[in-house]
Amino acid sequence: MTLTSNETAWATTIVQLIITCAFGVLITWITIKAQHAKSMEEIQEAVKNIFVRLFICFCNILAFISLCKELLSSAPLDRQGVLSIILPFVIFLVSFFGYSIQVILNMMMKHADITIRLANFFRNDTKA
């Protein structure tokens, strides 16, 4: 299938528009994170977290495309085909477990903070 010059021009314009919008969203996201940060270290950490999230998202999208391409293929499976099916599942599982562990750690930190505050409250309340 070959594209006509008009279709190629439309595809190029759409790709440029998507890249421009994505760049604008990225800059806006970083600006919002920077406005709510209290120190330069927090800004650097927020920007690092944004790029890590984008990298994970990009890897998941590539894994999804690879998985769909392999599953929709009518060619017989060989070792590379099996690897092309297993590898995206591993990427999805690692991404899911990493996110789950991060959520659990954040929840544990919040519970520890609440417990410390309650202990300090009761310690100060018994002294009075």
pLDDT in tens, 45-62: 888 888 888 888 888 888
* Residue 67 predicted with pLDDT over 70: yes
* Residue 128 predicted with pLDDT over 60: no
Provide the pLDDT confidence category of residue 126 given band limits of 50, 70 and 90: low
**What's residue 124's pLDDT?**
81
Q: State how far the Cα of 99 lies from the Cα of 109, in Å rounded to an integer.
A: 15
Q: Is the four-CA dihedral 20, 23, 29, 35 of positive or negative sign?
A: negative
Helix or strand or coil: residue 78?
coil
Tokens of 104: 């659990």
90-95 long-range CB contacts below 8 Å, 24 or more apart? 91/59, 91/60, 91/63, 92/60, 92/63, 95/56, 95/59, 95/60
Domain boundaries, the chain: 37-127
pTM equals 0.59
**What's residue 84's pLDDT?**
79
* Residue 79 predicted with pLDDT over 70: yes
**What's residue 8's pLDDT?**
80
* Residue 107 predicted with pLDDT over 80: yes
Please, what's the largest Cα pairwise distance for the chain? Answer: 84
* Residue 7 predicted with pLDDT over 90: no
Q: State how far the Cα of 89 lies from the Cα of 85, in Å rounded to an integer.
A: 7
